[in-house]
Structure 1
Amino acid sequence: MALESEERPNQSITKFESMLKTDDVYFFDAEDFEEIIHHYLNHGKIALAKKAIKIGLQQHPDSTALKLLHIEVLVFENNLEVAEHMLDELQLLETSNEEIYIQRANIYSKKDNHEAAVSLLQEALTISDECFDIYSLLGMEYLFMDDFKMAKESFMKCVSFDEQDYSSLYNVIYCFEFLEDYDGAINYLNEYLERNPYCEVAWHQLGKQYYVKRMYEKALTAFDFAIISDDNFMGAYYEKGKVLEKMGKFEEAIENYETTLALEDPTSHTYLRIGRCYEKLGSDDMAKHHYYKTVHEDPLLDKGWLVITEFYYRKEEYAKALHYINKALNIDGDNPDYWNKCGKIHVAMCNFDEADLAYKQAVDMGSYDLETWLSWASVSQRAENYNAAIEILSQAQELFSDSSEIAYKKAGLYLMMGDKINGRIGLMKALKQNFTQLHLFQKEFPQFDGIGWIQQLIDASRKASR
């Protein structure tokens, strides 16, 4: 079994490193070499591990354990053919060594043949007295296969072997979450907590499940128990702050967020949340103070620049909003949401050419939501470039053929141009498509209310829709 990474080197390791510095050759037991190799592997010192393996096999050429460690390193370095050949030779001598099956499974996993890896690991289970590591490997293989139900069951077995195995506990909850079985996760965690009532990790995970289900009071209780179990548990304070924020208890939320800042190095996301809380409380100066701290802490956090942009946009300080959305675009110029926001700001400033360019960029970057197309068409409409607006809406209809919003807007634009033929055809199609959305046309184009032929079309469509 591998040594824990934090364990200090023992006498064998000190002796081995001393040997490497001289021309002397010291003799070690095979078990000593195993210990030395595990130490280097746990510390990521692959070159030293390989030296220990080489010398170890020179002194103990028949050691199966050392050969398997050699194979483990070969697999790690993707020397799979050599590793397989060595395994073939070993298996002729030892047919009941589960580590041979495990290393073969690792090779298949490296080759993305996870079904074969699972089959080998299940064989290893039949001959192994220590199943913990095998179930952990099985769980990972099932995750690779997107079989979250089997992965969950495998990691549950790991937890049943060692209830302090928090890595497996996290994986169990991850599987529950992916399966969207939040009730199952809650039941599992409550049962676990009956046996381990002071496990801050389990309380923390339980609180997150309640949060997803919007059971905020229960989530608060769970996070409080996590904090009671470990009053330095930064994650519990942060998640508690999120719950309080959802409940509108912004001052309490700020207190919890600030506690996280005292416990660990400050993060831009925490400053961002504090700023939002202050803004909800109407304390604009404190909100701005923390928003600026957000981008000071992480200048590359595009969300930080965006939240400052939105702050000034809401305050109708459009020049400042434009300055900061450009900061966000400089960081992530491929983000369609930022181009959308940029377009809205230019519209507010009556910069229609710039707004047109921004919405075009948003579409080019993959923003295919209907609102983007309608906003883009409205820019050309406000600039009285009705042909361009109609062209934009025609493109949009290829994506949203059932949209009555597009149909009514397009009909109105034809009428704005004085094109009564296409206006009439377009309005007839829109009325037939969705008569109940007529109010969209009447609201945007009130100048056409009361026109005889239009009213006749509406009356006829009203009768037909009954």
Structure 2
Amino acid sequence: MAEVEKTADLATVISDLEKVVEEKPENVVARHHLGLVYRQAGRIDEAITQLQKAIELDNQSMESMINLGAIYFDIGETDKALALNQQALSISPKMAEAHVNIGLIYQQQSRVAESIESYLKAIEIDPKLLTAWINLTSAYTMSEEDAKAVEAARQAVTLEPESAMAMNNLAVALYFQGSYEESHESMEKAKALGYSVDSRFVAALQEKLG
């Protein structure tokens, strides 16, 4: 569901969906979308309530599980986020997005080896899934597998040359590999693509380059 850009439009969408839910409480789709717009409006508790209700009404509602998991991840309740993504995978084991989400949760919990495994599962399902390659790069960097981090970063950049985050990840991976000149080139490309490069990384790279 596309985000509503104007506050007035968002309020209108919320009002319309609330009416639908009031008239048809069993409407799973309406509750799901109401949860999404509540989240967009910052009404997190209400968003959780609606998405939970959507799942209660339809225990196959994977999108509601994924979106509710995203909310729990954002508010730091990673165990709940993990359970919801695992629930989605139990319905559709080849849901690459859920594998990426689980990888990110594991990474947040410092379970790096498990996060790498999850990202690789996502890539096996969808080799062109950019987020999987981007997150895999950072996970390999965290585990100090520098050559693999560079390889994953290069794959991300190949898939999406205009991705500022992928380019920045490549710069970081190259830095830890000791390829400082190429790291600098990638960093400058990331900046040109609009990425706000960490000033500490810039300073560390400049020190290595002398």
Distance in 2 of aligned mates of 1:362 and 1:214: 31
The change in CA–CA distance for 1:285 and 1:351 in structure 2 (over 3 A counts) is closer
Cα distance change, pair 214–335 in 1 and its aligned pair in 2 (3 A)? same
TM-score by length of 2: 0.83
Residue in structure 1 matched with residue 174 of structure 2 by the alignment = 346
Q: Which secondary structure does the structure 2 equivalent of 1:208 belong to?
A: helix
Amino acid at match of 1:328: A
2:141 to 302, 307, 313: 313
Match of residue 6 from structure 2: 179
Where structure 1 has 5 or more consecutive residues not aligned to the other structure, the ranges are 1-169, 385-466
Q: Which residue of 2 aligns with 1:329?
A: 157
Shift of residue 277, structure 1, vs aligned partner: 1.4
Aligned with 2:125 (options 281, 293, 297): 297
Number of positions where the alignment pairs a residue of Structure 1 with one of Structure 2? 209
Does the C-alpha gap of structure 1 residues 183 and 375 become closer, same or farther in structure 2, counting only changes over 3 Å? same
Cα offset for 1:214?
3.1
Q: Which amino acid aligns with 2:170?
A: C
Separation (CA, whole Å) in 2 of partners of 1:369 and 1:273: 23
Q: TM-score, normalised by structure 1?
A: 0.41
Query: C-alpha root-mean-square deviation of aligned residues, in Å?
Result: 2.8
Which one has the largest radius of gyration? 1
Partner residue in 1 for 2:41: 213
1:367 pairs with one of 168, 188, 193: 193
Deviation of the 1:372 alpha carbon = 7.9
**What is the CA distance between 1:380 and its match in structure 2?**
5.4
Find the residue that maps to 1:177 and give its secondary structure: coil
Is contact 2:133-2:155 (8 Å) kept? yes
Deviation larger for 324-333 or 217-226: 324-333
**Counterpart position of 2:57:** 229
User: Could you tell me which residue of structure 1 aligns to residue 81 of structure 2?
Assistant: 253
Instruction: Tell me, yes or no, if the aligned pair for 1:216 and 1:247 is still in contact at 8 Å.
Output: no
Question: Matched residues in 2 for 1:282 and 1:377: separation?
Answer: 26
Mapped to 2, the partners of 1:283 and 1:191 lie a distance apart of 43
1:383 corresponds in structure 2 to 209
CA displacement 1:353-374 (0-9 Å, x = unmatched): 22233234445xx424563899
| Structure 1 partner of 2:110 | 282
Q: 1:340–1:372: 8 Å Cα contact kept in structure 2?
A: no
Q: Can you give the 5+ residue segments of structure 2 that lack an aligned partner in the other structure?
A: none
Q: Percent identity?
A: 20
The within-5 A match list for 1:159-174 is none
Q: Compared with structure 1, are the counterparts of its residues 185 and 301 closer, same or farther at alpha carbon in structure 2 (3 Å cutoff)?
A: same
Separation (CA, whole Å) in 2 of partners of 1:334 and 1:205: 31
Where does residue 77 of structure 1 map in the other structure?
A: none
How far apart, in 1, do the equivalents of 2:203 and 2:83 lie? 46
Counterpart mapping for 1:255-270 below 5 A: 255-264=83-92, 266-270=94-98
Q: How far, CA to CA, are the matches of 2:140 and 2:161 in structure 1?
A: 20
Residue 392 of structure 1 corresponds to which residue in structure 2? none
